[in-house]
Amino acid sequence: MIAILSTISLLLTGLYAFVLTYLVTGWHSLKPAKKFDGPFTIKVTVMIAARNEEQNIAFTIEDILAQDYPKELTEIIIADDHSTDRTSEIIRSYSGLGVKLLQMNEDQPLNSYKKKAIARAISMSGGELMVATDADCRMGPGWLSSIVSCFQSGDIVMLSAPVAFYQERNLFEHLQTLEFSFLIGTGAGFIGNKRASTCNGANLAYLKSTFYEVGGFTGIDKPASGDDELLLQKVAKSYPGKIAFLKKRDAIVFTHAKHTIGSFLKQRRRWASKSTHYKDKRVVALVTGLWLFNLSLLVNAGLSFYNSYFFKLFIIQFAVKLLLEAVFLFPITAFLKRSSLMPLLIILSPLHIIYFIYIGLMGSTRKYEWKGRMVR
């Protein structure tokens, strides 16, 4: 029995080591954005789906209006997803500056209101390039021009760009920032290896023609989440090698970490729910393998109370995990100018074992609550 558990644990540790090495290689394979001297010619539509964002939406709109990209080539469409606060009123107050309000008014309940909002925004848009962000995000003035530069200087159809947390108030939020940096780096690493599989919808751009050529959200319209990752995977299948990650600080979009453990777990449960709808079974198998690796760590830690051998096995596994995560995260946090968070990895890494197992289990359950709605 000991031999079997030991072999399984070491094989899973080898898998984790392979994946982290693969991601490190992918991150370093990402080429810096090419210098683009203009002129800009692409008409851009910035899309936002907002629900009850009266505290944030004005800041996001102001940042988009302050972009250094040509105003005559910029369109802003914000879909109000049945807000019960002043979100629509605030959006409407910017109509004189060209901000268009799309009021969602579905009579019948939907499971994925956000995908519906984005699809409707795209259908009424006049842009060639769709740039998606969220209603609680902030960005610098060079955000849009850095994104468009990649499309005008390279042969790509979709672009994933970095997202980071900021203005953290406590240890819990700093830990989230470090963990979120890991997620962003993971998406970037896969893209760097020409195997796009994950991204974040708060900073995602794609050609309108590409959206329609892959059938839009058809086939992935049932789950509440997945307007980013599931769409990216559809595009990756049809356009291998045509998806890029923008490794440029001007392109970073900033948002806040969750303030409570409850809201954090709801968010991550929503994100994890997408994995059950992945079409690429290799990605599903990989995620399952990583979940089993974390489970083996927990099992070996528990068995340590009965046999010291399992404690030694746990230490070996955890040492490999901690070392490789540090190697992976160091260049990513340096890029995000958050290297000061690296010492927190000694706290995050063991907590992440329990978190990963819990989210993997909860993400596979059918229903969950999000922004006052029960979805699946």
- Burial label, 266 (beta-carbon count in 10 A; 0-12, 13-18, 19+): middle
What percentage of the chain has pLDDT greater than the value 90?
A: 77
pLDDT at 365: 63
- DSSP strand pairing (158-160 vs 243-245): parallel
pLDDT at 158: 98
pLDDT above 90: residue 363: no
CA distance 118 to 49: 7
Amino acid at 74: T
pLDDT tens profile 61-116: 999 999 999 999 999 999 998 899 999 999 999 999 999 999 988 665 555 788 99
Alpha helices in the chain (DSSP H): 2-29, 57-65, 87-92, 113-124, 143-153, 171-192, 208-213, 229-238, 261-273, 281-303, 308-335, 345-362
pLDDT tens profile 174-207: 999 999 999 999 999 999 999 999 999 999 999 9
pLDDT above 80: residue 279: no
pLDDT tens profile 128-167: 999 999 999 999 999 999 999 999 988 899 999 999 999 9
Edge-to-edge strands, sheet with 99-103: 99-103, 74-80, 44-50, 129-134, 204-207, 158-160, 243-245
pLDDT tens profile 74-85: 999 999 988 999
Q: How far is CA 362 from the centre of its chain?
A: 19
Residue, of 271 and 327, whose pLDDT is higher: 327
Return the number of other C-beta atoms located less than 10 Å from residue 335's C-beta: 21
Amino acid at 250: D
CA distance 376 to 371: 13
What percentage of the chain has pLDDT greater than the value 70?
A: 94
Structural element, H or E, at residue 125: none
**Which CATH code of 1.10.10.60, 3.90.550.10, 2.40.30.10, 2.60.120.10 fits the domain covering 33-267?**
3.90.550.10
pLDDT at 274: 73
Q: Where are the domains of the chain?
A: 2-26+280-365, 33-267
